[in-house]
Amino acid sequence: MVDMSVSLAGVVLRNPIMTAAGTCGYVDEFADVLDPSRLGAMVTKSITSQPREGHPPWRLVEVPLGMLNAVGLANVGLQRFLDEKLPGAAGLDTVLIGSIAGNSIEDYVAVAAAFDAEDRLPLVELNVSCPNTQDGLVFGEDPDHLRKLLGEVRPALKRTKMLVKLSPNVGDIVAMAGAAIEAGADGLTLINTMSALAIDVEAGTPRLSRGSGGLSGPAIHPIALRMVHQVYHAAAGPAGVPLIGLGGVMRWSDAAEFILAGATAVGMGTALFVDPRSPKAVLKGLARWVQRQGCSSIRELVGQVKPP
Ligand SMILES: Cc1cc2nc3c(=O)[nH]c(=O)nc-3n(C[C@H](O)[C@H](O)[C@H](O)COP(=O)(O)O)c2cc1C
């Protein structure tokens, strides 16, 4: 038996495998297909202060080695989430993480303050891949913009730890990670989807109604791995800030790569669309791998990739 437990900013997860934001609904509906007690944590879909319809169909299409989505943050909004969704999720035997999104700093602060009042959410995750309607800039694509947002959200979180989910659509991921850490991030999630496009050549139009969308799945795994590795060595490792590796994890070896690159925990999103029970197999393979490495705890392997 190996110890698979990990700690995210002082919050203990029984194992490092988590479901990713937006890929398991409001989380309680997912409990019908996968026992939450098998998971280290579950992240809700991103919640905004007001309800959102999202984009019209098509908003999710399959592409080689992944999926392209432009869901547009469809969700019931903060109040209905608190009244109707959170009570169902609260009974689940796993760590719950509330994902927050917005189109203004005030939006983020409102949801953060409300989540902070909920004991059942020990951690929140800020989805910063959203444009600020005031200036059109995406919060997570400019270090100054990100610092400003986190500077306002941080004081609203009196009890809850703050994870910041970084966008890969930037030139310098270390600069973004550094800005988030400076502004008080307790942990970083890497990565959100990558901006991409698919075209229907018969119709001559983009396959998604919105045009471009976010690429997820195995296609982005090596990119996510490179970013986790870089951020671990240049920013998060020295600061003692834990990382959640996310992007294209389908098999246990993909998760093991993230651990060696510097991730403390590992998320799964697109894999749940292929087989919602796949986290069980990933966890099993991961535990066997830790044993084969001669370690008693998975924590011993975080960041232990050797030079080529
Ligand atoms: C259909 C779909 C919806 C998503 N919704 C959200 C969301 O609401 N908030 C968020 O932070 N990320 C969202 N994501 C991004 C995932 O959480 C994850 O970062 C990304 O898909 C990469 O991981 P994967 O390759 O394992 O899917 C969504 C992804 C997909 C495929």
- Each of the 308 residues of the chain gets a pLDDT tens digit; together they read 899 999 999 999 999 999 999 999 999 999 999 999 999 999 999 999 999 999 999 999 999 999 999 999 999 999 999 999 999 999 999 999 999 999 999 999 999 999 999 999 999 999 999 999 889 899 999 999 999 999 999 999 999 999 999 999 999 999 999 999 999 999 999 999 999 999 999 999 999 999 999 999 999 999 999 999 999 999 999 999 999 999 999 999 999 999 999 999 999 999 999 999 999 999 999 999 999 999 999 999 999 999 99
Both tokens of 280, joined, read 């069980």
CB atoms within 10 A of CB 174: 15
User: Catalytic one among 68, 71, 130, 208?
Assistant: 130
Residue 165 CB less than 6 A away from ligand 1: yes
CATH architecture of 6-301: Alpha-Beta Barrel (3.20)
Q: Is 24 a catalytic residue?
A: no
What's the number of CA atoms in the CB half-sphere (13 Å) around residue 248?
23
Pocket test for ligand 1, best of 23, 26, 73, 257 (most atoms within 8 A of CB): 23
Pocket test for ligand 1, best of 162, 193, 257, 266 (most atoms within 8 A of CB): 193
Residue 216 CB less than 6 A away from ligand 1: yes
The beta strands (E) that lie in the chain are given as: 6-8, 11-13, 17-19, 41-43, 60-63, 66-69, 95-100, 123-127, 161-165, 187-190, 194-196, 199-200, 205-206, 213-216, 243-246, 265-268
pTM of the full structure: 0.98
